[in-house]
Amino acid sequence: ISLQSFQITREVGSWIKIDEGRREWYIPDGFAGGTKHPRIHSFDEILGYELLEDGDSITKGGLGRAVAGGLLFGGVGAIVGGATGKRKTKATCTSLKIKITLNDITMPIEYINLITTETKKSGFLYKTCQTQAQEVMSILQVICDSSKAVPQSDTVIEQVEKVSAADEIMKFKQLLDAGVITEEEFKEQKRKLLELQ
């Protein structure tokens, strides 16, 4: 597979390029999104993905599951992975990357390295990379969902949405009880989740 026939229909910054028509994607391997020898992958190769910050898993997703963790992002006091206790957080991040697990024995993992040097979490670069990481992971989830594309009835979808909203409200309640978020923040999140139903 060559880049000459690859038609970029979607991209996020210089992190990932997608050809929706051919159902393929690649991670640029050169400076500023250039390409030297990128490995082009099929949508069907993606088994899962994970956001790693300084070696810790923040968010996971992939085939057969919705995005997990990552309730609130940003700032020095980032609450991640659905943690319910108070946690010491660092003011800087030295590594932020997306790990993509592939169904390929010769190359089972691809990384998108968003941050590779010490970066302030309160700074523009960190916040931009967090936003782009969320966008990349949303696209990866859409790709995973399209690969398994099993038709579901409206009733099943409604039940899943109700359970998901209830689960999310419970998570926010735990954060409130732990003193991590305020009563106003809890009420706002609850209102948003209930409006979705």
pLDDT digit string (tens) for 46-82? 999 999 999 998 888 775 544 444 433 443 333 344 4
pLDDT digit string (tens) for 125-161? 999 999 999 999 999 988 888 776 545 445 544 544 4
Question: Quick check: 104 and 45 in contact, CB under 8 A?
Answer: yes
The pLDDT of 5-19, averaged and rounded, is 89
Query: Going by C-beta distance under 8 Å and a sequence separation of 6 or more, which residues neighbour residue 163?
Result: none
pLDDT digit string (tens) for 105-125? 988 999 999 999 999 999 999
Residue 192 sits at the vertex; the CA angle it makes with 190 and 195, to the nearest 5 degrees, is 105
Domain spans of the chain, in order of start: 3-150, 153-197
Pairing of strands 24-26, 41-42: antiparallel
